[in-house]
Amino acid sequence: MQELKNRIAQLLADGSVQRILGWKKGEMDYDAEPAFFETQASLDDFVYHGFCAANLSKYMIEAAKLPGKTLVCLKPCDSYSFNQLLKEHRVDREKTYIIGVGCSGKLDIDKIRAAGIKGISGISEMENDTLRIETLEGEKSCRRKDVLLERCHVCKGKDHVIFDEQIGSSQDTTDGDRFAAVREIEAMAPEARFAYFQEELGKCIRCNACRNVCPVCNCRKCVFDSTKFDSVQKVNADSFEERMFHIIRAFHVAGRCTDCGECSRVCPQKIPLHLFNRKLIQDINTLYGTYQAGSGLEGKTPLTEYHPEDAEP
Amino acid sequence: MTKSEYAAARIEEISGTNPYRCMKCGKCSASCPTFSEMDIKPHQFVSYVLHDDVEALAASKSLWKCLGCFACVERCPRDVKPGRIIDAARQLVLRQRGNSYLSADEISKMEADLPPQLLVSAFRRW
Amino acid sequence: MQIDHKEEFRPKIVAFCCNWCSYAGADLAGSSRLSYPADVKIIRVPCSCRVNPMFLLRAFERGADGVILCGCHPGDCHYSTGNYYTRRRMTLLFSLLEFIGVERERVRVEWVSAAEGAKLSETMNDFVKTVGALGRNIRLGDLRCRN
Amino acid sequence: MQRIGVFVCHCGSNIAATVDVKQLAAYVKSEPGVVYANDYPYMCSEAGQAMIAEAIQKERLSGVVVCSCSPRMHEATFRKCAAGAGLNPYMVEIANIREQCSWIHKDMETATQKALVLARAAIAKVNLGTPLQEGESPVTKRALVIGGGIAGIQTALDIAEAGYEVDIVERTPSIGGRMAQLDKTFPTLDCSACILTPKMVDAAAHEKITLYTYSEVEKVSGFVGDFTVDIRKKARSVDADKCTGCGACQEKCPSKKAPDAFNRGLKKRSAIYTPFAQAIPNVPVIDRKTCIHFQTGKCGLCAKVCQAQAIDYTQEDEIITRKYGAIVAATGFDMIRLDRYDEYAYSQSPDVITSLELERLMNAAGPTGGHLERLSDHRQPKEIVFIQCVGSRCADDRGKSYCSKICCMYTAKHAMLIREKYPGTKVTVFYIDVRTPGKNFDEFYRRAVEEYHVDYIKGQVGKVAPQPDGRLLVQGVDLLDARQLQIEADLVVLAAAIEPSEGVRPLAGMLTAGIDTNDFLTEAHPKLRPVESATAGIFLSGVCQGPKDIPETVSQAGAAAVKVIGLLAKDRLRTNPCTAMPDVLACNGCSACANVCPYGAITYEEKEVAAPGVRETRRVAVVNSALCQGCGACTVACPSGAMDLQGFSNRQIIAEVDAICR
């Protein structure tokens, strides 16, 4: 992290960039948050560690409107999102300086808590892939790989698909099958599937966190906030979230979703929203050929493309 | 599925060809170096499979006359690959004899005038 | 809540037909007096690719029991490529609906040319029968939108 | 709130026998927005229309719903009627209660109920409707024809004869195309040059036609009626105004090493050349790659011998920018390369030739002066084998999947001509099928067999092996006799597949015209619009659309010309107002809509967007309503719903859905 910090301080100091988009120390060690840094002094709060899970690419849409260049720190998976945004003309490459930061998987505080570690006052990452956790009950530890975010187990890889320079090393964390959960649900009876999603989506409080965090859910005006579909009528439907919002959201990001996993990470109700996206990605891969959104800038997305011999619905 | 339908389906499976694609141009027979030795000609292989008459194909002399040179496979404009069909038929016969490939011991039991190229190809495949 | 599953159940079916092939096919079914149940109501759209998934979900939300989309046969689209997009969109949408446990049979895409009045009638008959057998749409509907 | 009038038609008893029309008219009165409802036996009659017109004016109607037959039948009628009464025609909707109700239902109550629902949906749609104005766009009364073969020449002549200016852009130094290379034409055996050359002269002499030879289309922008095209006129190095076409320069040119493309490489040509004697224009070009002057700075012989002082080594490419109302693609074809058909020994022996090469060998103006001979030893061949379908009808990646269509007939022609001129020659044709669907075509083929005794063998050739003595051993099969044949031939002629000319794909991109996997340009409708591209204002002529022979090409050329004339005859184009319309405030500028637009109607502009709290310049979609055909693909591709379709708006369709589900 020190190397990264030195480098961004230098780029800010010599005027190469006007501001840094990175992560800022939170109240606790595990709640780092995205932030813009414009002064050297503010960089004191800059951090990069296992809890810097937030995908910063979406903030670059706003950064593109600010004067001057913005330096953004992108993890390998974030770089796919940035690429996708670039493809959709939503960010300005000219006004962006990308440091591809290394990643050894991001950590899930809920998994740590679920492991019975409570009253956490501090967490530090150790060399030997363990975490040292200070708690009210004294010092505890756990293995990194046991508390990784779900998405890190099915990581797309640790290569940045777009960057100006790279800093920091990465460690492969892939040890799971990305579509295993999707297949599990597919194997269930329709009634059971319906019950499962009814239960999960029933928790939705329509806080819009998923929509706000999703890099490709970047419409200036969401259809669910516009008058164009007469769909701004949450009140007169009894379970609008289950029946409309999440289906349409998944559909709108189909072929564009890079599977960054932010939707599920930020959901306060812990709804496994990424399952919808994964399901669609799996379908696209099997029906239209393997496609990874954000891997390149050329070509059309699967839903704006066709083949005369495509499968029938 | 009758026995002969089953055999025809197996041929299609083993050979990986689709006999329905044949446009009956005959380029296979025109290419075949052992055409004159064969009782069922290469272009006819396809129709035997299409008409589920694998038994006749399996009993034919052609089965053991095909050199496996694959000239017909190379030149077939419709990607039907008659050479693979006869190869598959040969394979079916070999499997019925209890083997999935030809073993060296069996050579002495075979017809004396088998072309050596065929033997090589029978060792080679599967 | 009491859901009526008796014989009297008549499904509500919304059909989207493209102007150039399927709507003309429906007209042909009419002029050939090839009947299909009155439960089917057709909405005319310029092309099947005009049909937004929002429309389908809206129909279900408002109490439709089945939604069918008809367009020109692939390759015959009046706009040359519209139905190809429809095909991909609906393939994914239907798959997603099935994934969350909605009955797959409630949605259908059928290619009907202007000459296929008989096919349109058969398709509608079959679809009404299929959806009728499924009963009321509960999984996607909003009960308060029921009259 | 709209003021809607509903008009229920009895259609005699067609509707009234099954739908209670009186009740329907009474029911709809309680629908929102409806201020008037009535019924009449025949709404489409003069009296019915008068009733609608009167109600529009008396009741100050802002919208009309007619419950009648299919809109495909009378929508236009009622819209015209409304327009006559001062109502915007796009505020008229039809509820189809005949084809989709009374004709398919028997029970009156059921049918009446359904009719009511259909009427409600139409009323709901009109309630959210907006008056639409048909747009207008100007028409530049000039056409561009790309390609100067028989297709392009015929199209240009037909357009010019109707009085419109036409430009022909031809890539090579002369117009004429493939037909100029042919010897005789089937099934009449008249000399190709004799029927083509007069047309070439007509085209050159026509006051309405401008030829741009040795030129290529470089850029196309605009849309139907108003295209702007950049044409690159390549440097000829010869001043066309001064050149007298005497030919002295070609005679004296010391560099005679370049393969003569017009003679399919069977001959060499000079560096300064006209492709053939009857070339139009009869002005040579200098091929700078083989010209000694351009390569070494020396020579300059042509300039010395030119009495007209027409040679201009300093000439440069010129870009001509012109406006056109319509563009016709007539880019033609070429033969496929045969280097992947090694079994036929095409690249091993000079005596294995393609049919087009044979045309040159038999042509009096060809490399042998029309004497048929082997290129290897100049002997006259005694035994000739023709092989059909070389590279046509192939499922593999060596050839083409389609039938090239012309080969069966020209092979019959060749076989016949050879037997006529050299009766001692044995001619064998290996065929898979003989396809002769055309006027007098089968008779022609039968003549080859019955009168000229050409030996047609059902079967294919597996291998052609050049022998040490220079002959060619042809191993083929006769499928009907189940015999393998070995023929010692002197000459083997391959009926190679034809393919669209090189460079069609980038051209299609410029024209935004559809193109298939074989690089043939796609027609707007395979049955009903065979000479139009799906892109308005772009038309197709000749083989660029699919394999065809000369008579077919000429008919299609004429058809394309008629379409062009029909377009150019208009002063302004009426544009369909039911087009896509982006809301710049909601547009993300993401390109999804443009990606699915089949007409290239959507572009992006940096536009200043002003709304409460927003004032910025950003990338937004712009729809060219002259190009948009109103399919609506973009409206669904747009995730924010910024793109909507006028006349079928999101809210209108949702209102219809709601009305039906109510």
Non-local CB neighbours of D381 within 8 Å, separated by 6+ positions = D351, D372, D373, D374, D425, D489, D490, D491
Name the residue with tokens 């992006």: D604
Instruction: State which fold the C13-145 domain adopts.
Output: Rossmann fold (3.40.50)
Tokens coding A2 = 């020190």
Q: Which chains touch D (3+ CB pairs under 8 A)? A: A, B, C
Q: Is the pLDDT of residue C1 over 60?
A: no
Q: Which chains touch A (3+ CB pairs under 8 A)? A: C, D
Architecture of the D4-127 domain: 3-Layer(aba) Sandwich (3.40)
Position D580: which residue type?
Answer: A
Name the interface residues of D facing A (CB cutoff 8 Å): 583, 585-592, 595-596, 604, 616, 619, 637, 639-642, 644, 650-651, 654-655
Residue of B nearest to D433 (CA): B25
- For residue D582, the SS3 value is strand
Query: Helix/strand/coil (H, E, C) string of chain A?
Result: CHHHHHHHHHHHHCCCCCEEEEEECCCCCCCCEEEEECCCHHHHHEECCCCCCCCCCCHHHHHCCCCCCEEEEECHHHHHHHHHHHHCCCCCHHHEEEEEECCCCCECHHHHHHCCCCCEEEEEECCCCEEEEEECCEEEEEEHHHCECHHHHCCCCCCCCCCCEEECCCCCCCCCCCCHHHHHHHCCCHHHHHHHHHHHHHCCCCCCHHHHHCCCCCCCCCHHHCCCCCCCCHHHCCCHHHHHHHHHHHHHHCCCCCCCCHHHHHCCCCCCCHHHHHHHHHHHHHHHCCCCCCCCCCCCCHHHCCCCCCCCC
DSSP state of C41: E
Nearest CA to CA, how far is D605 from chain B (Å)?
49
Lowest mean pLDDT among A59-73, A120-134, D166-180: A120-134
CA dist A222 and A212 (Å) reads 10
Residue B103 is predicted with a pLDDT of 66
Residue of D nearest to A256 (CA): D592
Which among D387, D390, D393 has a CA at the least distance from the CA of D429? Answer: D387
Instruction: State which fold the D142-234+317-332+501-568 domain adopts.
Output: FAD/NAD(P)-binding domain (3.50.50)
Q: Is the pLDDT of residue C128 over 50?
A: yes
**What CATH number corresponds to the domain at position B37?**
1.10.1060
Cβ pairs B/D, distance under 8 A: 69
Domain boundaries, position B94: 3-124
Residue B121 is predicted with a pLDDT of 61
Pairing of strands C107-111, D34-40: unpaired
Residue by residue, DSSP assigns D295-308 as: HHS---HHHHH-TT
Contact D475 B41 (CB under 8 A): no
Residue B110 is predicted with a pLDDT of 66
Nearest CA to CA, how far is D389 from chain A (Å)?
26
Which among D161, D33, D167 has a CA at the least distance from the CA of D93? Answer: D33
Residue B7 is predicted with a pLDDT of 85
Q: Which residues of B touch D430 (CB under 8 A)?
A: 30
Tokens coding A268 = 């306060």
> Number of structural domains, chain B?
1
Nearest to D598 among C24, C36, C81 (CB): C81
Spatial contact of D484 and B32, defined as CB atoms under 8 Å apart: yes
Write the burial class of residue D127 (CB in 10 Å: 0-12 exposed, 13-18 middle, 19+ buried).
buried
Residue of C nearest to D598 (CA): C81
Which among A228, A96, A213, A85 has a CA at the least distance from the CA of D619? Answer: A85
Interface predicted TM-score (ipTM): 0.77
Architecture of the D339-497 domain: 3-Layer(bba) Sandwich (3.50)
Neighbours of D334 (CB within 10 A): 14
Compute the mean pLDDT over every residue in chain A, rounded to the nearest whole number.
90
Position A88: which residue type?
Answer: E
Instruction: State which fold the D576-646 domain adopts.
Output: Alpha-Beta Plaits (3.30.70)
Asked if the C-beta of D96 comes within 8 angstroms of chain C's C-beta atoms, the answer is yes
Kind plus residue range of the DSSP H or E element containing D79: helix D71-84
User: Hey, of D388, D479, D486, D487, which one would you mutate to test binding to chain B, going by the most B CBs within 10 A of its CB?
Assistant: D479
User: Hey, of D97, D103, D660, which one would you mutate to test binding to chain C, going by the most C CBs within 10 A of its CB?
Assistant: D660
Residue D596 is predicted with a pLDDT of 94
Kind plus residue range of the DSSP H or E element containing D231: strand D226-233
Asked if the C-beta of D635 comes within 8 angstroms of chain C's C-beta atoms, the answer is yes
Any idea where the domains of chain C sit in the sequence? Answer: 13-145
Spatial contact of D236 and D274, defined as CB atoms under 8 Å apart: no
Non-local CB neighbours of D186 within 8 Å, separated by 6+ positions = D409, D410, D412, D413, D441, D444, D549
Q: Do domains D142-234+317-332+501-568 and D339-497 have the same CATH topology?
A: yes
Non-local CB neighbours of A223 within 8 Å, separated by 6+ positions = A229, A231, A248, A252, C54, D639, D640, D641
Residue B100 is predicted with a pLDDT of 56
Spatial contact of D324 and D511, defined as CB atoms under 8 Å apart: no
Q: What is the mean pLDDT of each run of 10 residues along chain D (662 residues)?
A: 95 95 95 95 95 96 96 92 96 96 94 96 96 90 97 98 97 97 94 94 96 95 88 96 94 93 94 95 95 93 94 96 97 93 93 96 93 94 97 91 96 96 96 95 96 96 95 96 94 97 89 84 84 89 96 97 96 89 92 92 91 86 90 94 94 95 88
**pLDDT over 70, % of chain A:** 96
Residue A232 is predicted with a pLDDT of 60
Residue of A nearest to C107 (CA): A313
User: Hey, of D99, D535, D649, which one would you mutate to test binding to chain C, going by the most C CBs within 10 A of its CB?
Assistant: D99
pLDDT digits (tens, 9 = 90+) for A217-247: 999 888 888 877 776 655 445 566 667 889 9
CA dist D231 and D374 (Å) reads 42
Residue B11 is predicted with a pLDDT of 86
Contact A276 C99 (CB under 8 A): yes
Q: Which chains touch C (3+ CB pairs under 8 A)? A: A, D
Name the residue with tokens 């694998």: B54
